[in-house]
Amino acid sequence: MIDLAFYYPAQNRWSVNVLAGALEAYGPGLRAVFPPTPAELASALGSARHGAASAAAFSLFSCQLGAAAALVEKLRKLSPDTVFIAGGPHPTAAPAETLAAGFDYVITGEGEVALLALLRSLDERRPPRRGIIRGAPADLAACPPFSAAYELFGPIEITRGCPFACTYCQTSYIFGAKPRHRPLPGILRAMDAMLSRGMKEIRFITPDAFAYGSRDGKALNLPALEEFMREADALARAKAGRIYVGSFPSEVRPEHVTPETLALVKRYGANRRLVIGAQTASPRALKAVRRGHGPEEIFEAARLCREFKITPYMDFILGLPGENADDEDASMAMIERLAAQGAMIHTHAFMPLPGTPLASEPGATISRRMEKFICGMESRGKAFGKWREQKEWKRGLVD
């Protein structure tokens, strides 16, 4: 038998939910708990069953590694027999660094299969050599998107992988460039589990909501998209629920905002806003980060949203590597124009995420002129975002 304490802070809940779903297949030998605070995690490790193997697991973003390392150091003193396991975006991109931070095992990539195999080996007292374990791509048809057994629910992941491999984004480098879609029956089962427990607002996780069913993630598969939205809406409405497609926590690409996709949102979705990845108005910068579209598609997406009475929430990244005054001018002009037409601007500061081509790039300094402009947009209620906090987090990544 084995006791697992999976650290469950708010920032990591959706990732842990997926792995909790995988844990359901382990069987009766596993006792898993999900403490949300360091104190509760310590308490859980201190109450392990006599004779049971003990493990603690962490899913980590890059900005969390330092705090996690300090926590593991303290917990080892309290529970020296516990095995510490890390996975998630940062361990996948920087496994050696994560191992050096005090973990016994680092699982890279997708963890559903690898975590269960590791726990079984610990349970059977045949632990593998301390080090890095390469995760294999999960079968989304076989792995639930959350855990009903542990009552850990959240947005339903419907697609993994992205073909565009934007140089600042970890998605393609963790999950691959070929999109994998959760089959519709699995989506509906997950929805039913939530709806039957009184959760009426159903949201989805995907790199591009409109690319559901697409073979390559670039050419839309409108019949598959409509079938998904139609069946999901019918199930939700039958139980007094609604679906939200293309709004938080997912997004859509500008070139996939078309009259056809917007008509589906209007017909089946409860949301009247779309999160659209614009990132920058500079044609040069868009090409440099491999976005795969130009500024024209951004303007057209906003125009179509206005026509369909849907509010576009446009993501912009400030301080992309190589960004110059001309690039900032282009973005400020685009932001002003989009906001005047009813768009909401969601601002981010560039962060050099490990595992991406720009991992070693500090990024351009956000000019005082750009900061003043964004502050002005915020004061007018036209923009929001955590770009200030991300500037601070970036210092930790660069240092």
Give Cβ neighbours of residue 294 (< 8 Å, ≥ 6 apart).
283, 286
**289-322 pLDDT tens trace:** 999 999 999 999 999 999 999 999 999 999 999 9
Q: CA–CA distance from 277 to each of 286, 308, 338, 373, 374 (Å)?
A: 11, 18, 13, 20, 18
Note the pLDDT of residue 393.
Answer: 84
| Of 368, 391, 208, the residue nearest 301 (C-alpha) | 208
Q: Supply φ then ψ for residue 48, to 5 degrees.
A: -65, 150
- CB-based contact 218:163 (threshold 8 Å): yes
Q: Does residue 264 surpass a pLDDT of 70?
A: yes
Percent of the chain with pLDDT over 90: 96
Give CA 192 to chain center in angstroms: 23
The pair of structure tokens assigned to 354 is 């490990």
The pair of structure tokens assigned to 297 is 């598609």
Q: What mean pLDDT comes out for the span 142-156?
A: 97
Q: Does residue 397 surpass a pLDDT of 90?
A: no
Phi-psi region of 244 (alpha: psi -120 to 50; beta: other; left: phi over 0): beta
> Using CA atoms, how far apart are residues 159 and 228, in angstroms rounded to an integer?
12
Note the pLDDT of residue 145.
Answer: 98
Helices (H) and strands (E) in the chain, counts: 15, 15
The pair of structure tokens assigned to 99 is 């191992």
CB atoms within 10 A of CB 314: 26
Q: Supply φ then ψ for residue 205, to 5 degrees.
A: -110, 125
Q: Does residue 130 surpass a pLDDT of 90?
A: yes
CB atoms within 10 A of CB 173: 22
H/E stretch holding 120 reads: helix 112-123
Q: Does residue 211 surpass a pLDDT of 90?
A: yes
Confidence bin at 398 (pLDDT 50/70/90): low
Confidence bin at 48 (pLDDT 50/70/90): confident
Q: What mean pLDDT comes out for the span 128-139?
A: 96
Percent of the chain with pLDDT over 70: 99
Note the pLDDT of residue 259.
Answer: 99
CATH architecture assigned to 156-398: Alpha-Beta Horseshoe (3.80)
Give the number of residues written for the chain: 399
Q: What is the mean pLDDT of the chain?
A: 97
Identify residue 184 by its one-letter amino acid code.
Answer: L
**Cα dihedral 16/18/20/21 (nearest 10):** 170
Judged by average pLDDT, the poorest of 28-32, 244-248, 275-279, 395-399 is 395-399
Confidence bin at 7 (pLDDT 50/70/90): very high
Note the pLDDT of residue 399.
Answer: 59
Q: Does residue 396 surpass a pLDDT of 90?
A: no
Angle between helices 325-340 and 368-379 (to 10 degrees): 10
CB atoms within 10 A of CB 342: 14
Note the pLDDT of residue 232.
Answer: 99
Q: What mean pLDDT comes out for the span 58-80?
A: 96
Q: Does residue 341 surpass a pLDDT of 70?
A: yes
The pair of structure tokens assigned to 204 is 């989805």
Identify residue 155 by its one-letter amino acid code.
Answer: P
3-class SS at 352?
Answer: coil
Note the pLDDT of residue 135.
Answer: 96
* DSSP classification of residue 63: G
Angle between helices 222-238 and 184-195 (to 10 degrees): 20
**Cα dihedral 235/241/247/252 (nearest 10):** 10
Q: What mean pLDDT comes out for the span 340-355?
A: 97
> Which ranges of the chain would DSSP assign to H, the alpha helix?
13-23, 38-46, 65-78, 89-93, 95-100, 112-123, 171-175, 184-195, 222-238, 259-268, 283-288, 295-307, 325-340, 368-379, 387-398
Does CATH number 3.40.50.10490 belong to domain 2-134? Answer: no
Q: What mean pLDDT comes out for the span 102-106?
A: 99
Q: What mean pLDDT comes out for the span 212-216?
A: 99
Q: What mean pLDDT comes out for the span 370-398?
A: 92
Phi-psi region of 385 (alpha: psi -120 to 50; beta: other; left: phi over 0): left
Note the pLDDT of residue 180.
Answer: 98
| Of 98, 37, 96, 106, the residue nearest 69 (C-alpha) | 98
The pair of structure tokens assigned to 329 is 């001018």
H/E stretch holding 83 reads: strand 83-87
> Using CA atoms, how far apart are residues 264 and 210, in angstroms rounded to an integer?
10
Every domain of the chain and the residues it spans:
2-134, 156-398
> Which ranges of 151-209 would DSSP assign to H, the alpha helix?
171-175, 184-195
Within this chain, domains 2-134 and 156-398 share the same CATH topology: no
Q: Does residue 392 surpass a pLDDT of 80?
A: yes
Note the pLDDT of residue 364.
Answer: 96
- In this structure, is the dihedral angle defined by the CA atoms of residues 163, 168, 169 and 170, taken in order, positive or negative? positive
- CB-based contact 89:355 (threshold 8 Å): yes
